Amino acid sequence: MTAERIYRLLLRAYPPDFRAEYGRDMELLFRDQCQESDVRTLGFWARVFWDVARSAPALRIEAWRGRGRENTQTVEVTMKIAGMLTVLLAAFVIVGAVGEWVAGSKGAMDGRYVLAVVLGVFASVLLLGAGVAILLGARWGRQPARLALFASLVSAVAARLLFPWMSIFSQLVGFGLPVALLIALYWRSKTSTFRAA
């Protein structure tokens, strides 16, 4: 194996982006060093290995941090979109619940139906608040959004138990959306904890 081949293998310790930008220049510099020094000495290779061992890990860590920042920005944008969608769906369900109330008021309403509609509106208002908390994220933190989502889920389950004829759309929004957002908020906090460590 020639000295240049060995050095090319050592360059693999550096991040790919760094190698793409500086790899050729590093090889040319190494070729110059080979001509000025004796490549058969232990001192020459000790200096080469020391240089790679000293600089490559720091550049790898910097590249990983850069990727982590990009992933964090992607997650933030996704959460903002999820927050906007939550606000829109919650507002839509509130309007639907009011329509349900109006339709029910024309017929005979029993106490369970009224309580189910009130719980449905309350769940939607909590979902709306969770969406706003997600949108405001950094100012309020994630805890208010989690509490609102959990309370919304409990209210939706109670409404479903009281009035079993809840529409599929209402069930998806009432159960699926809070569960999905709670998982996303929990996952987001775990990944940011790992990145901070």
pLDDT at 175 over 60: yes
> What is the C-alpha to C-alpha distance for residues 76 and 82, in angstroms, rounded to an integer?
10
128-142: per-residue pLDDT in tens?
888 888 877 755 567
pLDDT at 125 over 60: yes
Residue found by looking up tokens 């020459």 in the block: 44
What does the pLDDT read at residue 14? Answer: 92
- Write out the two tokens for 16: 């790919």
What does the pLDDT read at residue 67? Answer: 76
Q: Where are the domains of the chain?
A: 3-64, 71-196
pLDDT at 189 over 70: no
pLDDT at 194 over 60: no
Among 67-71, 148-152, 181-185, 187-191, the range of highest mean pLDDT: 148-152
